[in-house]
Amino acid sequence: MVSSDTAIAIAFGLSSIFISMLGVWISYLTLRATSLDSRNEINYLVQTPQILRHEHTHFLASPSTESTRRRIPSIA
């Protein structure tokens, strides 16, 4: 016969394996749905040609005052 501590440890181990596998399965479904959405978006953009512009503005931290911050625009 197995002690109660061992039975509890085995039960927690099996439940953690089950929860981990459930998390992997949910992640797989989420990734699959996301990749399908992005594929459909790319097909839509190919069918409707247009110029897309996406800009980023980066602020670099410096020990000086607020007025001397460098602003570096970039286009991605």
Q: How many domains does the chain have?
A: 1
Q: What is the domain extent for residue 12?
A: 4-75
SS (H, E, C) the chain: CCCHHHHHHHHHHHHHHHHHHHHHHHHHHHHHHHHHHHHHHHHHHHHCCCCCCCEEEEECCCCCCHHHCCEEEEEC
Tens-of-pLDDT digits for all 76 residues of the chain?
Answer: 789 999 999 999 999 999 999 999 999 998 887 766 666 665 665 566 666 667 778 777 766 655 545 555 555 5
Query: Does pTM top 0.75 for this prediction?
Result: no
